[in-house]
Each structure stands twice: as structure tokens, then as C-alpha cells.
């Protein structure tokens, strides 16, 4: 099966409620959809979400990278020459991980369609469901507690709470959520780089002393501060997860070598797709470090690709794939189905995306 063309489309999806973190606020999800055409008439689907403050990728750069660099590099290649094909994607342009991820997932979609298997099975998985957490956006403690109660009533058993704006208020926010939902619900925190190392240790220790029972804290310090991240990891009992500090497999090596984090958050938009996600997961698993599969505010294509990866590998022990539940209207047909807190993969080959 040969690649004959590549196209992109822009889609805009309203969110149910504005998404607010320490870094940004948005009420609409804008994505680029990629369609790879083949000589057999089969189409591979991929998608990318621009998260300028994290990846540096914007709608125009994603579209330009795909249409002017990545696409021309792979047109004419055979889907059975898969390893070379993916390496071409990565060597065609520097950085631009979101554009690469969109093309990578479309190629895995075609790979599964060509060999007539759902992607999670090709990756070695036997389960087709995974539970996801859901994000409680940063708002007043009262509003966050109400949102938390609402999510629990929808079936969520793990809440991810955005912190990192103001340490004292952060503690009050976490306390109000814990009091609202009781002790049987897991709470994980994401500071999105909002603290410095000492502030993070002080805040996390206070939360520990208050007995608020936090499962993990994501990215307490700025992405490039590996020493700071290690300092936090070494000085608190709560497991620390790297997110923005982990883009590439090379970043993964640095984090593992320095024992800078207890856990890793893999996102396809950061690492450039499933191929690199598999490398990162294999390195982490070899070092006894579990991974979470996370997402940006992606359409159902990106979430479906991430869920296939998550279901394909046992070392992916956690999922933060809530975009599909945060988006009010998604034009994608097929892909994951959401039941309460569970994502269920479709039966179709490849990603199981039907179209849009
Ligand atoms: Mg995060």
C-alpha cells in the first residue's frame, strides 16, 4: 500500500466549560486533521492540537509542517516499509512534534488497516478499555468542589486538579475537593510548572501533613529545571510525575538517568507520536518507572490513538485522556466511546476512525 497524498483540514470544537490551568485558559479546541491517501483508496486519519505555550506548535505551523515538509518526504513510500517511513517523518523537519504526531497516528492507522487489526492488538494489547481521570479546572475552591462532585456523579473515580497558581490557595482548593468527594476518590495534582522547587516541596509537604491523600503531583517546576524536579522528587513522599519536562526519548533518558521523577506522562503531541511513545515507555519500563498516557485538548482522533497506545502496553498504568469528555461537540465519526470514566476502543482496524 503506497502513500499517494496528504491533506489537512481545520476543525473547531466548543468545550463544555472553559479549560483553565496555571498556563492558559481556553473555551474552544482547535485541531488540524490529517488524511493520508493511498493507492488502495484507504485513508489514514490523524489529528493535532496546537498548544503554543507547551509545544510551541500553532495551527499554521502544524499545517505548514505537514503540507510542506513531512508530506513530501513520505509520498510514494510503502506502508510495509514502516520503520523507514516513521524515521522519514522525524528527519523531515526539526521539532514540530504535534505535526509529526498527527502524521504518525495516520500512518499507524494505515498500518493497522493494511494488516487488518485494531492498533492496540498490533501493539500487543489484549484489553480495549481504559479508565481515565478528568480535569477540574483552576477556579475558586467552591466552584472546584462543585465540579468535582459533578464529575464523581458521572462515574469518575480519579480527579486531576490543576494547581500551581498560588500555593496557599492551592492547598485550600485541594482541601475543598477532598472534603467534597470523600476519601474513596483518587486526587492527582498538576502544577503545570507553576512552582519553584522549594515552594513545591513546602506545598506538597503541607498537603501531606494535612492527610489529603494525593496520588501524585505532575510537573511541579519549570520544564527545563531537571535538578529542581529531582530536588522535589527527593524531598517529598508523594510520587512526582514529569510532564512538560518529557518530550523526546532523549528527555526520557535524562529523567531516568538522574532519577528526577517517579512517574512519566507521555503525550503524543509532545513526543511526536506513537513510535516515540513506544520508545519512551520501553525505556521507562526497563527502569521500573510506570507511565501515564496524557493528552492535549485533542479531537477524538488523537484520543483514540492515545487510547490504543495505552491499551497496547501494560506499563501504561494511568490515563489522563479527558479531552473527549471536555469537548461539547466533536465532528469525528468512530473512535473511542466514553462510558462514565471508561474509554472503549472501537472494533475497526487501525485506529477505528470512520471519518468526519
Ligand atoms: Mg500535565
Residue 140, SS3 per DSSP:
coil
Is residue 235 domain-shared with residue 273, that is, in the same domain?
A: yes
The Cα angle at residue 199 between residues 195 and 204, in degrees rounded to 5 = 95
What percent of the chain has pLDDT above 70? 99
Distance 245 CA to ligand 1 centre (A): 10
* Distance in angstroms (rounded) separating the CA atoms of residues 324 and 215: 23
Is residue 50 domain-shared with residue 162, that is, in the same domain?
A: no
Is residue 111 domain-shared with residue 225, that is, in the same domain?
A: no
Name the nearest CA neighbour of 10 among 34, 28, 27.
Answer: 34
Band (pLDDT 50/70/90 cuts) for residue 126 is very high
pLDDT at residue number 22: 63
Number of structural domains in the chain:
2
For the sheet with 342-344, list strands across it.
129-131, 342-344, 337-339
Of 139 and 317, the structure prediction assigns the larger pLDDT to: 317
- End position of a domain, from candidates 87, 116, 145: 116
Distance 104 CA to ligand 1 centre (A): 22
Question: Tens digit of pLDDT for each residue in 154-164?
Answer: 999 999 998 88
The neighbouring-strand residues paired with 136 are: 161
Distance between terminal CA atoms of the chain?
A: 23
Computed over every residue of the chain, the mean pLDDT equals: 96
Q: In the block, which residue shows the cell 510548572?
A: 193
Q: What is the largest CA-CA distance in the chain?
A: 62
Instruction: Enter the DSSP assignment of 118.
Output: B
pLDDT at residue number 17: 87
pLDDT at residue number 207: 97
pLDDT at residue number 164: 85
Reported as type and span, the H/E element at residue 89 is helix 82-91
Q: In the block, which residue shows the cell 521507562?
A: 284
Contact 338/318 with Cβ under 8 angstroms?
Answer: no
pLDDT at residue number 70: 98
* Distance in angstroms (rounded) separating the CA atoms of residues 101 and 90: 10
Distance 161 CA to ligand 1 centre (A): 10
Active site residue 113: no
Question: Tens digit of pLDDT for each residue in 74-88?
Answer: 999 999 999 999 999
Active site residue 257: no
Is residue 317 domain-shared with residue 232, that is, in the same domain?
A: yes
Query: The CATH number of the domain where 30 resides is what?
Result: 3.30.390.10
pLDDT at residue number 306: 98
Residue 311 reports pLDDT greater than 70: yes
What would the grid cell of residue 37 be?
Answer: 491517501
Residue tagged active-site, from 100, 113, 128, 162: 162
Is residue 225 domain-shared with residue 305, that is, in the same domain?
A: yes
Band (pLDDT 50/70/90 cuts) for residue 349 is very high
On the CB side of 336, CA atoms within 13 Å amount to 33
- End position of a domain, from candidates 71, 101, 116: 116
Q: Which domain holds residue 131?
A: 121-355
Is residue 178 domain-shared with residue 193, that is, in the same domain?
A: yes
Distance 268 CA to ligand 1 centre (A): 13
Instruction: Enter the DSSP assignment of 192.
Output: T
CA dihedral over 221, 226, 231, 234, signed as positive or negative? positive
The Cα angle at residue 44 between residues 65 and 95, in degrees rounded to 5 = 25
Query: The CATH number of the domain where 130 resides is what?
Result: 3.20.20.120
Is residue 140 domain-shared with residue 96, that is, in the same domain?
A: no
Distance 74 CA to ligand 1 centre (A): 32
Is residue 100 domain-shared with residue 242, that is, in the same domain?
A: no
Is residue 47 domain-shared with residue 194, that is, in the same domain?
A: no
Determine the average pLDDT of the residues in 277-290: 98
Backbone angles phi, psi at 246, to 5 degrees: -115, 105
* Distance in angstroms (rounded) separating the CA atoms of residues 309 and 300: 14
Residue tagged active-site, from 160, 230, 267, 270: 267
- End position of a domain, from candidates 98, 116, 134: 116
pLDDT at residue number 177: 97
205-211 long-range contacts (CB < 8 A, ≥24 apart) are 205/235, 205/236, 206/171, 207/171, 207/174, 207/238, 208/236, 208/237, 208/238, 210/171, 210/175
pLDDT at residue number 25: 83
Question: Tens digit of pLDDT for each residue in 171-222?
Answer: 999 999 999 999 999 999 999 999 999 999 999 999 999 999 999 999 999 9
Amino acid at each position: 500500500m503506497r502513500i499517494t497524498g496528504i491533506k489537512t483540514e481545520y476543525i473547531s470544537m466548543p468545550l463544555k466549560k472553559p479549560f483553565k490551568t496555571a498556563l492558559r485558559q481556553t473555551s474552544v479546541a482547535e485541531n488540524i486533521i490529517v488524511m493520508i491517501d493511498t493507492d488502495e483508496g484507504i485513508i489514514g486519519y490523524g489529528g493535532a492540537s496546537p498548544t503554543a505555550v507547551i509545544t510551541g506548535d500553532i495551527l499554521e505551523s502544524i499545517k505548514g509542517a505537514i503540507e510542506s515538509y513531512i508530506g513530501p518526504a513520505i509520498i510514494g513510500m510503502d506502508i510495509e516499509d514502516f520503520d523507514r517511513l516513521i524515521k522519514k517523518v522525524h528527519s523531515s523537519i526539526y521539532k514540530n512534534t504535534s505535526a509529526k504526531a498527527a502524521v504518525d497516528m495516520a500512518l499507524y492507522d494505515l498500518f493497522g488497516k493494511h494488516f487488518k487489526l485494531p492498533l492496540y492488538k498490533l501493539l500487543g494489547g489484549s484489553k480495549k478499555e481504559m479508565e481515565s481521570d478528568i480535569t477540574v479546572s483552576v477556579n475558586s475552591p467552591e466552584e472546584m468542589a462543585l465540579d468535582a462532585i459533578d464529575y464523581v456523579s458521572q462515574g469518575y473515580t480519579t480527579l486531576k486538579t490543576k494547581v500551581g497558581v498560588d500555593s496557599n490557595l492551592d492547598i485550600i482548593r485541594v482541601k475543598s475537593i477532598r472534603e467534597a468527594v470523600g476519601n474513596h476518590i483518587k486526587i492527582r495534582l498538576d502544577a503545570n510548572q507553576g512552582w519553584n522547587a522549594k515552594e513545591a516541596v513546602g506545598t506538597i509537604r503541607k498537603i501531606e501533613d494535612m492527610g489529603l491523600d494525593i496520588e501524585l503531583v505532575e510537573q511541579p517546576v519549570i520544564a527545563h529545571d531537571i535538578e529542581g524536579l529531582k530536588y522535589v522528587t527527593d524531598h517529598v513522599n508523594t510520587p512526582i510525575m514529569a510532564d512538560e519536562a518529557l518530550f523526546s526519548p532523549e528527555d526520557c533518558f535524562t529523567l531516568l538517568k538522574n532519577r528526577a521523577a517517579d512517574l512519566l506522562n507521555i503525550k503524543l503531541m509532545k513526543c511526536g507520536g506513537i513510535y516515540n511513545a513506544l520508545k519512551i515507555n520501553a525505556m521507562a519500563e526497563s527502569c521500573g518507572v510506570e507511565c501515564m498516557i496524557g493528552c492535549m485538548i485533542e479531537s477524538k482522533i488523537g484520543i483514540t490513538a492515545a487510547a490504543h497506545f495505552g491499551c497496547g502496553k501494560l506499563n501504561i498504568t494511568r490515563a489522563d485522556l479527558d479531552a473527549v469528555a471536555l469537548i461539547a461537540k466533536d465532528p469525528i465519526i468512530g473512535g473511542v466511546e466514553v462510558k462514565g470514566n471508561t474509554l472503549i476502543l472501537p472494533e475497526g482496524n487501525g485506529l477505528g476512525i470512520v471519518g468526519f
